[in-house]
Amino acid sequence: MAPPRPPDRFPAGPRYRSYLLFGMGSALMLPLGFELLCALWALASGDAAWREFQAGLRHPLRIAGHAVAGVWLTWVALRFFRLFPKTQPFRLGPFRRPPDWLLVGGLYGVFAAASLALGLWLAGRIGGLG
């Protein structure tokens, strides 16, 4: 017998690109998680440390990193929205699962509303700072 062959053009083929992008996201999660820890530590160590941490955030590399993470997270969210409906049981008690478009639409709605709220809040904050 010949040993199993991995799927053709694995892992670079188009079939696996989105799956791998999704998986590789964990590489982004690691530094982000570390950053969060640093932020908490800075907060706990008093005003000076916190300000220093905030200053560090302005570094162009950090901004770029956050932009990439933002794009990636949005993409993960959208992929999840598409795949979400079928993770739900066909029926809960007497209720049938709502149609896919409704579930996906609902998720997009919540996403849009949350983004808007966050955006407004941030705009207010940034405006307030200025």
Partner 1 sequence: MAEHTKIIAVTRFDPERDDAPRSQEYEVPVQEDWKVLEALNYIKDHLDPTLSHRWSCRMAVCGSCGMNVNGEPKLTCREPLSNYGERVEVAPLANFPVVRDLVVELEGFLEKLGALKPWIMLAKQRAPEEGATRQSPAELADFKQFSMCINCMLCYAACPVVANEPDFLGPAALATAHRYNLDSRDEGAAQRAEIMRGEGGVFSCSYANECAEVCPKNVDPAGAIQQAKLANVLSWARSFVVRRRAAS
Q: Which residues bind partner 1 (CB under 8 A)?
A: 1-11, 13, 15-16, 19, 22-23, 83, 86-91, 96
Residue number with CB closer to partner 1 (15 or 125) = 15
CB of 23 to partner 1, least distance (A): 7
Q: Which is nearer to partner 1, 89 or 127 (CB)?
A: 89
Nearer CB in complex with partner 1: 16/50: 16
Minimum CB distance to partner 1, residue 43 (Å): 34
Which residue has tokens 């982004």?
Answer: 28
Output 80-87 pairs: Cβ under 8 A, ≥24 positions apart: 81/107, 81/108, 81/111
**Which letter, b or e, does each residue of 82-101 get, where b requires 16 or more Cβ atoms within 10 Å of its Cβ?**
eeebeeeeeeeeeeeeeeee
Specify the DSSP class assigned to residue 96: E
Task: Using alpha carbons, select from 71, 92, 90, 93 the residue that is nearest to residue 25.
Answer: 71
Q: Cβ 30 to partner 1, closest distance in Å?
A: 17
Q: Provide the β-strand partners of residue 96.
A: 91
Rounded to an integer, what distance in angstroms lies between the CA atom of residue 82 and that of residue 107?
Answer: 9
Of residues 13 and 119, the one with the C-beta less far from partner 1? 13
Beta carbon of residue 87, minimum distance to partner 1 (angstroms, whole number): 4
